[in-house]
Amino acid sequence: MHLPIPYRPEAEVVSHRLASLEGALDWSAAAATARPWVEAVRRHPPPFWAMESLLREYPISSAEGLALMRLAEALLRVPDAATAIALTADQLGRADFDGAADSTLSRLSSAAIAMSKKFLPEGDHPPGLMAKLGARTVVAATLRAVQLLGRQFVLGQTIAEAMDEARSAHRRHDALRFSYDMLGEGARTDADALRYLDSYTHAIRAIATGADAARAPEHNDGISIKLSALHPRYEEAQRERVMRELVPRVWQLCELAAAANLNLTIDAEEVDRLELSLDVFEALAARVAAGQPQWRGFGLALQAYQTRSLELIVHVTAVARRHGLRLMCRLVKGAYWDAEIKRAQELGLPHYPVFTHKHHSDISYLACARALLSAPDAVYPQFATHNAGTIAAILQMAEAAGAPFELQRLHGMGEGVYREVMKRTAAPVRVYAPVGQHKDLLAYLVRRLLENGANSSFVNQLGDDSVDIEELLTSPLWLEPTNPALPLPPELFGPAPARRNSEGVDLAVESMRAPLLGALATTHVPAVEEFKAGEALKAVAASAAAFRSWRKTPVETRAAMLRQAADALQRELPRFCALLVKEAFKTWGDAVAEVREAIDFLRYYADEAERIMQPVALPGPTGESNELRLTARGPWVCISPWNFPLAIFMGQVAAALATGNTVLAKPAEQTPAVALEAVKLLHAAGVPADAVQLLHGPGDTVGAALVAAPGVAGVVFTGSTQVARIIHRALAAKDGPIVPLIAETGGINAMLVDSSALPEQVVDAVVQSAFRSAGQRCSALRLLVLHDSIADAVIEMIRGAAGELAAGDPALLSTDVGPVIDSEAAGNIRRELARLDAEAKPLLPSAASPAGGNLLAPQAYEVRSIDGVTSEIFGPVLQIVRWGHGALVDPADVIDRINALGYGLTLGIQTRIDSRAQALATRAHVGNIYINRNIIGAVVGVQPFGGEGLSGTGPKAGGPHYLYRFCAEQTVTVNTTAAGGNAALLSAVA
């Protein structure tokens, strides 16, 4: 069976879940069962250093809790003392630990932290000698404290250490079992994946030595594995490769686990990997049925917070029955909630794939629990929860169903509740136990803290005496399904009449990408007639004639036409995506993003024009009125590039039209068909034919003739700095009015990385920023500046991740890097590569670039200095420089060197030191600065885009100041006393 689309109305899904629970549960009885557990936990709370107590004393919603969480995330992996001191000072300095906690022990802890802060430097400045000695002592103590914090979550740093701890627990309670989770996030390189495979293999063999193969898997310890840790491209777009390479790897582990009769559980991951995970799982289930049919320990984790969770259980049950297996199924709430919400918003999806209310997730969990308990022939349910009410409800439903099951808790969480559960019931309990180096726990630790430390979580409220027990054990079933707690992605910018967010496509969902692939087969690239440069004066005259009536069209009418065009473009998104793939060689992800950006430009500038073009009354002396108005300038020449042939083209044109100007649109020579279809769409929306004319032809003839023509009121250009200079000189040489130029050009865009940054996050950001769109973005990363203490490891990871990218036909979903735009561009890039081969250290083999054609695989080089990077290479080429030694010790010096290059478009900063990030951002002469993320993909109205220096004139496209440049200002003053005296003044004093 196919799962339903994950983006469905939340209230409808919850109503279905409630219906499935009808008559299945007596919540009042469950609450009565749970009450003594809660009372006992409150009478005997966990010690201060236990995670529940820390979350209560320093909740993550507070500055103190956030500071401790960030230190826990980053400090252990900072290799150099200077950065460790700066990070500790920054985080502890941002919170007031004096009086931050209540208990005696925590007050002593807070006092110690407050005292320690006195030894730390202020801001991102190196301390003196004596202060440095004190600071090092504080950092050493903080490191030890973070390691102790890690021990609350990590059972052992090695599998042997973890098994020793587990044996001690077994002796205290014979019924307790463990599922070891070898810590590690998704692999970025195949070397990472093979390392994780070795780790899993070693762990299974070690666990097997303590297992009894004669016992059923539910009575032995087991292991949990992450599929994303075993393959560097574990994603829907790489389905064929994943099935070919990953399934055999996991099968090796399954055979080892089956031989020892262990439980091997595949952990749940993000929503966009669900269908792929299920296909991998079923392929493995088929192998189990054929090769190890007696093994009943194969299983997977299921996330109840997904809106498809119940249908997922039906699917898994069917798989088990189809292959004659009994599967072990761990039911969890889910751990990627914030990431799923953000992804849905960024992609403009119709609904969220997860529930946005806690009680909706609780309802779903109970419905899923009932479904699992009703299929004992197919599944052995494992219920992972720390909620006392949920545990009691499961016990009740399990007794009614007569089905075997087990409960699970996370190591370091829920110990108090489970202490009472194990005293009072015979329910089997398994501990989900992370294993790994403390420095590797960061992403896991932060995710668990966010999941269990939220103010609404049961764990958080359990220790809060101000929360009444009746409130704590309130039934989620008594609460009505409600609308989402967050605005839906299409309403991200507010409810109507606010601008509607453009709607996107989740390419991981087959039914959503099908219209795009269908459009590819039916969309043809039309021929575009070339405009003759000698006709430029005639075109300008027609534009000027159209301007006389277009400027008088009410701004509301002009805005309505742009919105109509946006709606039409939204409806035709598949066709325009297909056209971008065929003519501009866009990959599907880039094509969808570009169509959405064009839609956003149309809607945003429609709103902005209505806002700014209303007359503004100004103060003045009595007896007169003063009003400031914006008026259109006249015909504008809009020269757009081939790298964003729809979005930038439409943005330029829409800005001019919205403000009452007419347009002479000169698209890039390589992509005229996209522009032609865009103009047709505008004409169909009501824009007069002469108000926007498409003039296709070479830039050095048609473009130059239009710029030089008299009567042109302005020029907006996106392209190279060299061409912008030519246009600027041509405009300056003209007689007549001084014509404004809006230019957005390229840049030597840099990313500065210090040693507190998370390497995996850095590599993701670098690969996306440097190589997505084949490096053919104005904002693409050109220069990576890495701290020397982490440079070797990060460079090695970048090499591996870049080598995993697939270069090829952009029409294939699996392609990451398509060809560059034409042979001229390819030739220019190859000449630069030849120069770098001679001058710098190649990091990727030249053989990685396919020979011939316009297809170039990513390339990276280590160069000697920032100053030596003097020109932009407009392709998938990254240059890397080290800092942290010699003349580049201070990150401020790095920013000064970047500023000295003269460009100023985009800059990335990767650091966990917040004060450093803000100080460096202030120091940089750059238009767009991105902290701890990639540096591409600016969103209209969210990240207005544009640079300074050699990168452009401003104002920023997609920002609140852009339209002003297309307008002239006019002040109208009226002497109101000229006829009949000053009646208003007389009335005021009467």
User: Which one-letter DSSP state was computed for residue 701?
Assistant: I
Taking residue 99's Cβ as centre, other Cβ atoms within 10 Å add up to 10
Alpha-carbon span 236 to 227, nearest angstrom:
13
SS3 for 820?
A: coil
| Residues 6+ positions from 255 with CB-CB distance below 8 Å | 291, 292
Catalytic residue among 778, 862, 872, 967: 778
**Which strands form 624-632's sheet, in the order they lie side by side?**
616-618, 624-632, 967-975
Q: Taking a C-beta distance cutoff of 8 angstroms, is the pair 577, 519 a contact?
A: yes
Residue type, 200: Y
Beta strands 327-332; 877-883: pairing state: unpaired
Alpha-carbon span 178 to 128, nearest angstrom:
50
Catalytic residue among 311, 669, 744, 760: 744
Please say whether the dihedral angle defined by the alpha carbons of residues 748, 753, 754 and 755, taken in this order, is positive or negative.
negative
Q: Taking a C-beta distance cutoff of 8 angstroms, is the pair 121, 87 a contact?
A: no
406 assigned to active site: no
Q: Which candidate, 319, 392, 297, places its Cα nearest to that of 26? A: 392
Alpha-carbon span 48 to 104, nearest angstrom:
10
Taking residue 7's Cβ as centre, other Cβ atoms within 10 Å add up to 20
SS3 for 428?
A: coil
As given in the structure block, the two tokens for residue 615 are 């007359």
User: Which one-letter DSSP state was computed for residue 204?
Assistant: H
H/E/C letters for each residue in 60-100?
CCCHHHHHHHHHHHHHHHCCCHHHHHHHHHHHHHCCCCCCC
User: What number of residues does the chain have?
Assistant: 990
Query: What is the b/e burial string over 595-631, where b = at least 16 CB atoms within 10 angstroms of the residue's CB?
Result: bbbbbbbbbbbbbbbbebbeeeeeeeeeeeeeeeebe
Taking residue 171's Cβ as centre, other Cβ atoms within 10 Å add up to 9
624 assigned to active site: no
Q: Phi first, then psi: what are they for 319, rounded to 5°? A: -60, -45
Q: Taking a C-beta distance cutoff of 8 angstroms, is the pair 651, 958 a contact?
A: yes
Q: Phi first, then psi: what are they for 687, rounded to 5°? A: -70, 125
Alpha-carbon span 459 to 98, nearest angstrom:
25
Alpha-carbon span 672 to 527, nearest angstrom:
8
As given in the structure block, the two tokens for residue 899 are 């500023």
H/E/C letters for each residue in 570-609?
HHCHHHHHHHHHHHHCCCHHHHHHHHHHHHHHHHHHHHHH
Alpha-carbon span 357 to 176, nearest angstrom:
33
Q: How far apart are the first and last CA of the chain?
A: 82
Residue type, 668: A
Angle at CA 771, nearest 5°, toward 761 and 727?
120
Q: Phi first, then psi: what are they for 577, rounded to 5°? A: -60, -45
Residues with a catalytic annotation lie at: 744, 778
